[in-house]
Amino acid sequence: MKKLVFTLVLVLTQILAFTQVRVENASFEGDAQDATTPVRWHPCEVESTPDIMPGVWGVHLEASEGDTYMGLITRKLGGWESVGQRLIEPLKAEECYSFSVDLAHSETYAGYNMPVKFLVWGCGQKCSKDQIIGEVAYVDHQNWRRYDFKFTAKEEINYIILEAHYMDGLSFKYKGNILIDNCSAFRPCRRAMLD
């Protein structure tokens, strides 16, 4: 009986590892510098110039994983930053997935110091913003926290977008920031594996 349970656990672990969809450069590794899109990512908004942290714009929080992480901002005159990536393989329509990401906020980001909303989009085409697959109303903590998301893909998802945005309910634009690190792979939900 023990051998059967062990074999079943081993097989399920292998299936889960095989079916997950990995995010490339999920910890935004690179040389810390401003106005630089991390390797394997592309900008999705006009004037998206993400920063690879720490050490620029007065932000010195250590990475939650690896050596560096990414900072995105919102602007007082309107506009926000977002980056996207083509997934190694698509997420299937009508399938349930889960993923996680570490988020923080800096109160010393060169004047871009207000908390912002964090959005994750699933897209059929590059930068198309078809479905919100993750959302945090605002992030105002200066330490890293892990956020977990679960969603069902409405259509096939080939790209993802990570986006900083203004908090809901405000009638003005403002200078804010979000720090992002350690994106997990997209994993099938447990219930999908048992169906």
The DSSP secondary-structure symbol of 13 reads H
CATH number (domain holding residue 150): 2.60.120.260
Q: How many domains does the chain have?
A: 1
Rounded to 10 degrees, the C-alpha dihedral 62/164/32/67 comes to 40
Q: For the segment 96-141, what is each residue's pLDDT rounded down to a tens digit?
A: 999 999 999 999 999 999 999 999 999 999 999 999 999 999 999 9
Instruction: Give the domain range for residue 10.
Output: 2-194
- pLDDT above 90: percentage of residues in the chain: 84
CB 174 within 8 A of CB 74: yes
CB 134 within 8 A of CB 147: yes
Residues with Cβ within 8 Å of residue 109, at least 6 apart in sequence: 57, 58, 59, 71, 73, 177
Q: For the segment 19-41, what is each residue's pLDDT rounded down to a tens digit?
A: 899 999 999 999 999 999 999 99
